[in-house]
């Protein structure tokens, strides 16, 4: 069972459930604006800048075994277009829901799992600590799922020129004259022939012809 580390009530992402009591059905709604924690999102791709305003709307409901937390987080995320590398800004809205169990939930009439029975689910359970819970791990998972894995500045972004790196959206007519490699050798041969013709026209005889003239003399 994954119990929370010792929680600090001064942390803006730590919430107190004492006023709910343990009465099933008790409900509390709250909103809170907090600074975004570090590395909230996909590092190096897109995420919410550290310290940026993060708007939270939460619904805390007391149930038999703990507190059910349902909420939405909203913020401005920033990243880089994967096609043209320009800065990208987008509105983030991430929904989440999680149960935070009472530490003694198994001792209050709940049937404990047999060895090997739902063991993985039991390991993933989150627990209240002295009536407190930390929203940050849940928030991080929700934000990662809500953000695009490959952000783009616009859906039809053409990206960068593969030859010179120019941003194609800035110059729709941008292109390079392509040379067919099958003709490259012939073009080189043609250039050599043209150079030879120019030498003859300028009065210079080929070396082989001058050698023959010397032998005849």
Q: Does residue 115 sit in helix, strand or coil?
A: coil
Buried b (16+ CB within 10 A) or exposed e, 62-75: beebbbebebbbeb
61: closest CA among 88, 90, 21? Answer: 21
What pLDDT band is residue 109 in, cutting at 50, 70 and 90?
A: very low
C-alpha span between 170 and 85 (Å, rounded): 13
**pLDDT, position 111:** 40
C-alpha span between 46 and 147 (Å, rounded): 7
**Measured CA distances, 91 to 19, 71, 78, 118, 181 (Å):** 33, 17, 9, 38, 48
Dihedral of CA 71/72/75/81: which sign? positive
Dihedral of CA 135/128/2/100: which sign? negative
User: For 169-215, how does the pLDDT look when each residue is reduced to its tens digit (9 = 90+)?
Assistant: 677 777 776 666 665 666 666 666 565 555 555 555 555 555 555 55
C-alpha span between 42 and 144 (Å, rounded): 6
Buried b (16+ CB within 10 A) or exposed e, 191-202: eeeeeeeeeeee
C-alpha span between 31 and 26 (Å, rounded): 17
User: For 130-172, how does the pLDDT look when each residue is reduced to its tens digit (9 = 90+)?
Assistant: 999 999 999 999 999 999 999 999 888 887 777 776 776 677 7
CB 74 within 8 A of CB 92: yes
C-alpha span between 92 and 109 (Å, rounded): 41
Strand runs labelled E in 13-86: 14-16, 27-35, 40-42, 46-48, 53-62, 66-80
Mean pLDDT of all residues belonging to the chain: 80
Q: Phi and psi dihedrals of 38, rounded to 5?
A: -70, 145
0.75 exceeded by pTM: no
Question: Which two three-digit tokens encode residue 100?
Answer: 């935070």
């Amino acid at each position: 069972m994954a119990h929370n580390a010792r929680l600090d009530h001064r942390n803006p992402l730590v919430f107190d459930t004492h006023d709910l009591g343990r009465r099933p059905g008790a409900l509390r709604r709250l909103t809170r604006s907090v600074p975004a924690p570090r590395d909230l999102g996909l590092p190096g791709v897109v995420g919410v800048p550290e310290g940026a305003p993060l708007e939270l709307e939460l619904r805390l409901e007391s149930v038999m075994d703990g507190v059910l937390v349902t909420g939405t987080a909203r913020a401005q995320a920033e990243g880089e277009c994967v096609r043209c590398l320009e800065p990208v800004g987008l509105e983030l809205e991430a929904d989440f829901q999680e149960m935070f169990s009472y530490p003694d939930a198994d001792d209050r009439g709940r049937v404990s799992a047999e060895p090997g029975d739902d063991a993985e689910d039991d390991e993933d359970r989150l627990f209240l600590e002295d009536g407190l819970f930390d929203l940050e791990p849940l928030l991080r998972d929700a934000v990662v799922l809500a953000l695009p894995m490959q952000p783009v500045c616009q859906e039809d972004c053409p990206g960068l020129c593969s030859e010179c790196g120019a941003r194609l959206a800035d110059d729709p007519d941008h292109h390079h004259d392509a040379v067919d490699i099958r003709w490259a050798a012939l073009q080189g041969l043609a250039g050599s022939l043209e150079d030879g013709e120019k030498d003859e026209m300028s009065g210079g005889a080929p070396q082989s012809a001058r050698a023959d003239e010397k032998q005849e003399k």
